[in-house]
């Protein structure tokens, strides 16, 4: 499949996920694709002189197409909503189903078949996620289960947060949602699964970092 066609399909998938908002009501006016299309990285640079306009900023689609052209390995595009940033991330390591995707600045997401299980280098990092709902999400079945999210605290110790989660069909065809509550917090993850793999998703990292939208550019 040509890169441009892949990106068009991914854009449509992200639009479908945009209807699955945060259940705790603290979202901005942007849906997932709106965040991806309005990132801090794409702001036009300050004009160097009155008669020399800055070059137009590249869209996320253009940057994704360029990344696919120059990098032959697995790639994802991640939109960090609270940071107002979109990053193209390349796989730098794999251990079984666990993959580490990293930016040149060494910010990293750790995924297990598309499920977010850790972050590194972002600050307030998710040490590890332990979702019991994984099999429900991949099969598209409704059900419930616990989700444990572990974070490093200021004293260097790992602190677990446990959430009760319910999995069910989302508002759009092909979308599965996972709604979780605990410790006075509620959040909702959204997934589009293809062949047991999570191809496009919007997943909660934690109280400080909020949501990240992840789309597979090349598996």
Residue 10 has pLDDT above 70, yes or no: no
Proportion of the chain above pLDDT 90, given as a percent: 60
Domain ranges (residues) in the chain:
60-218
Asked if pLDDT for residue 213 goes beyond 80, the answer is yes
CA–CA separation, 168 and 178 (whole Å): 7
Largest pairwise CA distance in the chain: 61
Rounded to an integer, what distance in angstroms lies between the CA atom of residue 119 and that of residue 89?
A: 12
Segment 95-123 mean pLDDT: 95
The pLDDT confidence band at residue 70, using thresholds 50, 70 and 90, is confident
Q: What is the mean pLDDT of the chain?
A: 81
pLDDT of 60 reads 74
Superfamily of domain 60-218: YmcC-like (2.40.360.10)
pLDDT tens sequence across 24-37: 444 333 333 333 33
Residue 16 pLDDT more than 90?
A: no
- The span from the CA of 187 to the CA of 78, in Å, is 18
Kindly tell me if the per-residue pLDDT of 40 is higher than 50: no
What is the average per-residue pLDDT within 42-68?
62
Which of the four pLDDT bands, split at 50, 70 and 90, describes residue 3?
Answer: low
Half-sphere exposure of 15 (CA within 13 A, CB side): 6
DSSP the chain: --HHHHHHHHHHHHHHHTTS--TTS---S--HHHHHHT-GGGSPPPPSBTTBPPPPPPPHHHHHHHHHHH--S-EEEEEETTTTEEEEEEEEEEETTEEEEE-TT--EEEEETTEEEEEESSSS-EEEEEETTHHHHHHT--EEEEEEEEEE-TTS-EEEEEEEEEEEE-SSTTEEEEEEEETTEEEEEEEEEETTEEEEEEEEEETTTEEEEEEEEE-
Length of the chain equals 219
- Cα 46 from Cα 98, distance rounded (Å): 41
> For the residues 42-59, what does the mean pLDDT come to?
52
Q: Starting at the earlier edge strand, list the strands of the sheet with 85-95.
A: 115-120, 108-112, 98-102, 85-95, 75-80, 210-218, 197-206, 185-194, 175-182, 158-169, 143-152, 126-131
pLDDT of residue 26: 43
Q: What is the pLDDT of residue 157?
A: 84
CA dist 73 to 28, 63, 90, 121, 180, Å?
A: 33, 16, 7, 22, 34
| Residue 136: pLDDT over 80 | yes
- Tens of pLDDT, residue by residue over 149-171, are 999 887 778 899 999 999 999 99
């Amino acid at each position: 499949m040509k890169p441009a066609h892949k990106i068009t399909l991914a854009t449509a998938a992200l639009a479908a996920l945009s209807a699955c908002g945060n259940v705790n009501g603290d979202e901005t006016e942007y849906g997932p694709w709106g965040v991806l299309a309005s990132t801090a990285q794409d702001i036009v640079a300050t004009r160097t002189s009155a008669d020399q306009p800055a070059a137009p900023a590249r869209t996320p689609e253009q940057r994704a197409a360029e990344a696919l052209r120059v990098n032959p390995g697995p790639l994802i595009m991640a939109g960090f909503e609270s940071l107002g940033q979109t990053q193209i991330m390349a796989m730098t390591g794999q251990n079984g189903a666990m993959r580490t995707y990293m930016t040149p600045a060494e910010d990293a997401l750790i995924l297990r078949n598309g499920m977010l299980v850790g972050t590194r280098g972002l600050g307030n990092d998710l040490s590890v996620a332990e979702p019991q709902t994984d099999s429900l999400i991949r099969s598209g079945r409704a059900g419930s289960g616990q989700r444990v999210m572990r974070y490093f605290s200021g004293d260097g110790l790992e602190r677990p947060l446990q959430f009760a989660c319910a999995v069910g069909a989302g508002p759009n065809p092909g979308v599965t949602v996972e709604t979780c509550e605990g410790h006075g917090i509620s959040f909702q993850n959204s997934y589009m699964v293809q062949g047991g793999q999570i191809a496009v998703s919007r997943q909660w990292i934690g109280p400080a970092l909020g949501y990240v939208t992840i789309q597979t550019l090349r598996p």
